Amino acid sequence: MSFVPPPPSKTHKDENFPVASVLIAPAHRATIMAFYRFARSADDVADDPVLTAKEKLFALDDFESTLKGRTDVISDAVPLRLALAEHNLSPHHALDLLQAFRMDAVKKRYETWDELMLYCAYSAAPVGRFVLDVHGESESTWPASDALCAALQIINHLQDCVADYHNIDRVYIPLDGLTQAGFGVEALDLPAAPPALRAYLKSLAEKTNGLVAQGAALPGQVRDFRLCLETAIIVKLAQTLTQRLIAYDPLSEPVRLTKPGFLIWTLAGVASGLRTFARRKPRSAEGDPS
């Protein structure tokens, strides 16, 4: 019997970063939202606390089968399949994303930073690449996008390290550094990080900040005016959150932005995007500010 997933656990409005905000041109928004719904539904399967690993893998196979048109069993995959066909887009980014969810279904721990980055190559990079493809952007934008998307993923991992451990027994904090700091994963149960653990978590945030710095080139590389603003906002939010993760202990202190803080840094991102786009002379005409 094929798996029928429950309604998504959250919507795009609940994410830490903008997903197809009003800045994205209406012509592109529905396609991006179809990708988001597909990803959110598959992610919920991978994180399901009741399903076995084997059941999760069978369910994710149903996502792939529906995306490829072999079945219609996964309702959240059908709109994406139709959108891909309508806009002559490849399914390979969505298929890459399914590989990350298959990893989540069977893998609970990550040994090294490099191993975590490999996971991000499937869990994060395809999202940015898909959005760029929808906008017809050059593949030359992919390295900056990959770095930014990996940073967003790791920011979420650091913010949610306690919840991920408690709720789904998954730890994205690389174990080699935990061991060197003198701790096991059970340290995530502590009310506050001891100095050695705090130093390690800070070092991960600093590495992530390096990824954000690479990704900060993205707004200046995309041709689309609206996407320039959207990516500039994401860069600004990522910069702010990594600085908070460097400054605060995610085990005991609030690292997420409040709604007013989110608004303030969103506006700062818009201002940054406007400055970035205005600096373009020969390329500015390629964007469409309408």
> What DSSP assignment string belongs to 162-198?
HHHHHHH--B-S-HHHHHHTT--GGGGGSSS--HHHH
Report how far apart the first and last C-alpha atoms of the chain are (Å, whole number): 48
pLDDT of residue 7: 59
C-alpha distances in Å from residue 191, one per residue of 186, 201, 247: 11, 15, 17
Per the prediction, the chain carries an average pLDDT of 90
pLDDT of residue 213: 98
pLDDT of residue 281: 57
User: pLDDT by residue (tens digit) across 37-72?
Assistant: 999 999 999 999 999 999 999 999 999 999 999 999
pLDDT of residue 263: 85
Look up residue 108 and give its two tokens.
């609970």
pLDDT of residue 225: 95
Q: For a pLDDT cut of 70, what percent of the chain falls above it? A: 90
pLDDT of residue 283: 46
Q: How confident is the model at residue 15 (pLDDT cuts 50, 70, 90)?
A: low
Q: In angstroms, rounded to a whole number, what is the distance separating the alpha carbons of residues 35 and 1?
A: 25
User: pLDDT by residue (tens digit) across 161-199?
Assistant: 999 999 999 999 999 999 999 999 999 999 999 999 999
Average pLDDT over residues 242-263: 91
Closest CA to 109 of 176, 202, 180, 190: 176
pTM of the full structure: 0.89
Average pLDDT over residues 265-276: 89
Look up residue 57 and give its two tokens.
């893998």
Q: In angstroms, rounded to a whole number, what is the distance separating the alpha carbons of residues 198 and 158?
A: 12
Pick the residue with more confidence: 41 or 15? 41
Q: Which of 99-108, 248-257, 260-269 has the lowest mean pLDDT?
A: 260-269
